Structure 1
Amino acid sequence: MTDDNRQLAELAIDIAREAGELARRRRAEGVSIAATKSAIADIVTEADREVEALIRARLAAERPDDGFVGEESEAEVGRSGTTWIVDPIDGTVNYAYGIPSYAVSIAAVAGEPDPQSWVALAGVVFSPANGELFHAVKGVGAWLGSDRLAVNAELSPAGALLATGFGYDPATHAGDLARVARVMPLARDLRRIGSAALDLAFVASGRLDGYFERGLKPWDHAAGALLVEEAGGVVGGLPGARADNAMIIASGPALFDRLQAAAAGPE
């Protein structure tokens, strides 16, 4: 099974590099906004759709029996028990504005394509702007290129460097800000990078101590959560739940319980 998962990761790496180069090239040519989604600030570019189409076509050619769940196209139920969870450009607003913090996120999961029950097998987060590629294989580890990743095991006396994000719906902003206020006593500072996939990759690589956010979709965190777990970290949601739309929290073991309690507390 480990060899099978390695093969899934190798395929995802190859496809992510090709997809990321397409995204980078389209960014250089100029971005066209295709539509808005859940809110007027929640945009999709023509590049999002083109990159997802490339990823989907490559996966269909290589693994025709697998399922597919992507941000920009209809889900497809497979026959193999493996489903690919894909965000073609995570950080679309950054991408549209020319901020080089966006990523291609590709994960392979076993079981139902539901974060509450799936088992992540392989995951890749690729940052086309700087060429950094993070990948993980279940039970084997996580890497940035050839460097093995490990979450921060100890916290600085100055506090934790944390990251978060905010939803596009203005009605949720007050609750998000209240959550930040509860978490800040744990923090030395707070980052708002704009890509959940990169936030999670940065926790896995020790660039961040922890990350929390409400309102994510499965494709936002499928690959990044596996990176954190395989780097020795903990990923969860509200107390008693796995990471989902209600909350995702990721950090090293030393911080997790305190970060979860603060992030999940009453607003």
Structure 2
Amino acid sequence: MTDFLDLAVGIAREAGDMLIAKRPARPEAVETKSSMTDVVTALDRASEELIRDRVRAARPGDAILGEEGGETGGEVTGEGRVRWIVDPIDGTVNFMYGLPDWAVSIAVEVDGEVVAGVVNVVPRGELFAARKGGGAELLRAGLPAMPLRCNEAVPLSQALIATGFGYQPGRRAVQAEVLTHVLPKVRDIRRGGSCASDLCSVAAGRVDGYYERGPQYWDFAAGGLIAVEAGAMIGGLRGRPYNPGMTVCATPGLFEELQDLLAPLDPERDA
């Protein structure tokens, strides 16, 4: 497991360095996905290809699931089935506009369970890392590793909550409706633009909780492990695992309060 984390840290750093070095003054979208506002840049693809190349060179039998390239490879060995979950740039719109909340996210699964996760929030010079059962930490150049711990015993009324919005108009309309019910019940709302970074903010105590409809597995696999290893809970609604329909993350107690607030609002729908 340690080897998985060390390899993921090195690859995430290399991808982040490449993105900073090659990012033009204003990257342009090369295509859109779910809507005209859901964009892909050439550097999304370049970052994922770099990550795939490094994983294949080090561990040629492992499967890789990436946002841009889908799933490739994979065989069962004595270690089990190992799969790398890759988001080459989580927060592409932030990346395009020069905003600081975008990240390279890499998680490693063994037999379907995430055992290592790395989120490199490149513009901030912060790399978050966790191994299952081994805690989570923040790595910054020239500084000792800082263990992460989420905020505890925060009631809903005093909670700073992060969220995000989808790209399709019908989904955004429902998310705005849900937000009008959530906002009066909490301290305030923050919208950073990167699911992976938001989950790491929960782990670091920079926000108290997070919820969002829409992020995919590559968005939350690594950040979810980091948050859990820092003491948070993560899940969906009504006892389901966290999923693209809804992901909720917060410290115990607040986690249940946030779920109870969201569930009656039917937030997993689109207009």
Q: TM-score, normalised by structure 2?
A: 0.91
Instruction: State the identity %.
Output: 45
Could you say which residue in structure 1 is the equivalent of 2:47?
A: 51
Shift of 1:178: 2.1
Alpha carbons 1:179, 1:262 under 8 Å: kept = no
2:96 counterpart residue number = 96
Asked if residue 42 in structure 1 is aligned to residue 41 in structure 2, the reply is no
Residue pairs, 1:114-193, within 5 angstroms: 118-145=112-139, 146-155=145-154, 159-193=158-192
Query: Displacement, 1:131?
Result: 1.1
SS in 2 for 1:75: strand
Deviations 1:131-179 (A, max 9, x none): 1000000011000011111110122696101110010000111211122
Note if 1:212 corresponds to 2:211: yes
1:165–1:192 CA contact under 8 A, matched in 2: yes
Mapped partners of 1:23, 1:154: distance in 2: 39
- When the two chains are superposed, the root-mean-square deviation of aligned CA atoms in Å is 1.4
Amino acid aligned to 1:92: T
Which runs of 5 or more structure 2 residues have no equivalent in the other structure?
140-144, 267-271
Q: Distance in 2 between matches of 1:160 and 1:186?
A: 9
What is the aligned length? 257
Q: Are the aligned partners of 2:29 and 2:39 in contact in 1 as well (CA < 8 Å)?
A: yes
Aligned AA (2:121)? S
Aligned to 2:269: none
Please state whether the residue corresponding to 2:123 is helix, strand or coil. Answer: coil
Aligned-partner SS, 2:106: strand
Q: Secondary structure at the match of 2:241?
A: coil
Give per-residue Cα distances to partners, 1:90-125, cap 9 Å, x unaligned.
0000111111110000000122xxxxxx31100000
Give how far 1:184 is off: 2.1
Alpha-carbon contact 1:103-1:127 (below 8 Å) kept = yes
The residue type paired with residue 132 of structure 2 is: K
Cα gap change, 1:227 to 1:155, in 2 (>3 Å): same
**Could you state the TM-score of these two structures normalised by the residue count of structure 1?**
0.93
Structure 1 portions without partners, runs of 5+: 112-117
Aligned to 2:6: 10
Aligned to 1:252: 251
Tell me the distance in 2 between the aligned counterparts of 1:157 and 1:256. 9
| Distance in 2 between residues matched to 1:57 and 1:77, nearest whole Å | 12
- The 2-side partners of 1:170 and 1:157 are apart by 29
Cα shift readout 1:59-89 (whole Å, capped 9, x = no counterpart): 0000111100000113114113010000000
- 1:30 Cα deviation from its structure 2 partner: 4.1
**Alpha-carbon deviations, 1:21-78, whole Å to 9, x = none?**
1111222454132111110000000000000000000000001111000001131141
Q: 1:39 to 1:157 in 2, by over 3 A?
A: closer
Q: Does 1:26 align with 2:26?
A: no
Quick one: distance in 1 between partners of 2:155 and 2:246? Answer: 25
